[in-house]
Chains A and B, each alone.
Chain A
Amino acid sequence: MDIYLPIAEMSVNIFGILALGVVTGILSGMFGVGGGFLTTPFLMFIGIPPAVAVATSANQIVATSLSGFLAHWRRGNVDFRMGVLLLEGGIVGSSAGVWLFAVLKRLGHIDLVISLLYVTLLGSIGIVMGLESFRSLKHAQQHIVPTAIMRFPRLSRLPMMTDFPRSKLRISALLPLGIGFLSGILVSLLGVGGGFFMIPAMIYVLGMPTSVVIGTSLFQIIFITANVTFLQAVSTQTVDIILAMLLLTGSVVGAQMGTRIGSRVAAANLRGMLALIVLTVALKLAFGLFERPDDIYTVSVNDL
């Protein structure tokens, strides 16, 4: 069954979009990532204009992250103090990212920069996570994840030391602010929620417990993607509310399923699986850079 999308100006298969929503929802609930790094490329693949795909998946991530966040919140798995600091950094970062995007676009090659960023980031994060979860699976005993603070003791001498009772941490507030800032830049540049960057950073740099990481990252993503949705709706009118609702319907259901699956799987397994997904997407994109494209010509259309 097909439905016409008023903003994308084309018709799509309802069940295809619903299924895509469910898949991203499950990922979101299990791993705390918004699924934008899967949704956006897939929507473009089926012919949705890139600008509409980016803006609409931001709108979808607002709902999946809220739904996932509520589930984690009921279990007490959210560190609000940490979340607010990440959010503050994220808002500054996403504004800087919008500016950076404009500069890159003026210089040309914005698409290439986006692909390279995806490949480098997803590739390195996937490898680090994969190795770590493999190691902790091999040594089945209680395993302590080595954090950046343990490796670089200088990080613990930064000013603004703050207590994070929920995460059982005492670290400098500058660290979450910085991570939020970097992920904010990625949100603007890549049109994703930023979870795939922030979650590994929270685990391996801040040393937060895996159980708290997902709920806290979802908390931050709600606000950042809401901000992106709003900016896109006002400046480019590319948020397709019908497409968003279809994706949402699938993904809110998927998110609940994902949260339930996630709570039954060991944390190291969960990290291992996320690493595998991230690596697969990175490899796919890396091949895309070196492989001769089917069509070396690309066409973009604008209203007069």
Chain B
Amino acid sequence: MIRPLIAILCLFFLPCAAWAKPLVADLSQYRIEIDSSFTGTRLLLFGSRNDIGDIVIVVRGPEKKYVVRRKERVAGIWMNRDRQRFDKLPSYYTVASSKLFQDMRHTELFIPLRIGLKETVMGNDTHIDPAFVVALIRYQQSQGLYTQLPQKVSFMGESLFKLAIPFPDTIPGGGYSADVYLFSDGKLQGMQSIPIEVKRIGFDAFVYDFAHDHSVLYGFISILLALGMGWGASTLMQRI
């Protein structure tokens, strides 16, 4: 639903891009490699605007399915009662801007473009109890997976801007995208999307793929390793 809209918007802005691109941006790297020493990282996004306006940057990770459950007290015991499913949400989401969100004048575009945490989780579905939305956002924020960075897009001079995008150790692998928007006078003046690949490498990638592709063998190996270590330790301690 979002992508066709972006495509239409991009087509609309193409003519002006022909003589001066309103926005150019790039990343310090397009790939994050997760190995056993990975404890999180930062990517530097930098760019230049050729129009006056506010910069908003959104980074989205691969989509996953979420279920939020609410406990209630029944006969003195806390148990799960109501629940809310979210079928397709980005597993990682960072939104950053050059201005405070409440100071911007084009917020009507934020829901269709899925800019902002609440806008992304709730969309335009009015049937969802907002308490579940708040709970989901709070949980994702506590994991470092959802982040809001108002005013963190900084300018060097009139046109150059930059942002350090945080990636915690909990990020899932897959395809990410960093989308840069330029808003002015309540209109979207320019947009650029940069793909980022998050990939496991080395031994960890091998273990992960092996566990999923050869699960029977993986199960046997896990048991054999455990048996081997149990036996080995017992024999070793016997000698000492």
Contacts and interface: CB of A to CB of B under 8 A. Distances in A.
Contacts of B208: 6-7
B200 to A, nearest CB: 7
B212 A237 contact: yes
Interface in A263-304: 289-293, 295-304
A233 interface: yes
Contacts of B63: 304
Interface string B81-94: 00000001001000
B142 to A, nearest CB: 9
Given A229-B226, A239-B219, A11 B66 contact: no
Interface stretch (B51-59, B70-78, B106-114, B179-187): B70-78
B126 interface: no
Interface in B33-70: 34-39, 63-70
B216 interface: yes
B87 to A, nearest CB: 8
Interface string A239-254: 1011011001100110
B70 A62 contact: no
B19 interface: no
Given A7-B208, A111-B80, A299 B68 contact: yes
Residue picked from B66, B88, B237, most chain A C-beta under 10 Å: B237
A4 B64 contact: no
A289 B78 CA distance: 6
Interface stretch (A64-72, A134-142, A158-166, A167-175): A64-72
Interface string B209-236: 0011001101111110111011111110
A253 B230 CA distance: 9
Contacts of A234: 215-216, 219
Nearest to A292: B78
Given A59-B223, A70-B234, A226-B223, A4 B35 contact: yes
A119 B204 CA distance: 38
Contact of A10 (B65, B66, B170, B216): B170
B172 A256 contact: no
Given A111-B80, A241-B225, A289-B78, A63 B230 contact: yes
A84 B171 CA distance: 45
A237 B222 CA distance: 11
Given A9-B170, A229-B219, A298-B80, A241 B211 contact: yes
A298 B226 contact: no
B226 A62 contact: yes
A158 B203 CA distance: 56
B172 A9 contact: yes
Interface in A185-213: none
B207 A242 contact: yes
Contacts of A298: 68-69, 71, 80
A106 interface: no
A290 B222 CA distance: 38
A64 B232 CA distance: 11
B40 to A, nearest CB: 8
Interface stretch (B7-15, B132-140, B188-196): B132-140
A131 interface: no
B222 A304 contact: no
Contact of B226 (A71, A248, A291): A248
A154 interface: no
Contact of A252 (B138, B140, B229): B229
A60 interface: yes
A67 to B, nearest CB: 4
B79 interface: yes
Contact of A2 (B39, B216, B222, B233): B39
A55 B202 CA distance: 24
Interface string A67-83: 10011001000000000
Closest 5 CB pairs of A and B: A233-B219, A66-B230, A252-B233, A297-B135, A63-B230
24 contacts: A6-B200, A6-B205, A9-B170, A10-B169, A10-B170, A11-B169, A59-B226, A66-B231, A67-B233, A109-B79, A234-B219, A241-B218, A241-B225, A248-B229, A248-B230, A292-B73, A293-B71, A295-B135, A297-B70, A297-B136, A299-B68, A301-B91, A303-B64, A304-B63
Given A232-B219, A252-B230, 15 more contacts: A3-B37, A6-B207, A9-B173, A65-B230, A66-B231, A241-B207, A241-B222, A296-B72, A297-B69, A297-B131, A297-B132, A297-B139, A299-B66, A304-B63, A304-B64
Interface of B: 34-39, 63-73, 76-80, 88, 91, 131-132, 135-136, 138-140, 169-170, 172-173, 200, 203-205, 207-208, 211-212, 215-216, 218-223, 225-227, 229-235, 237-238
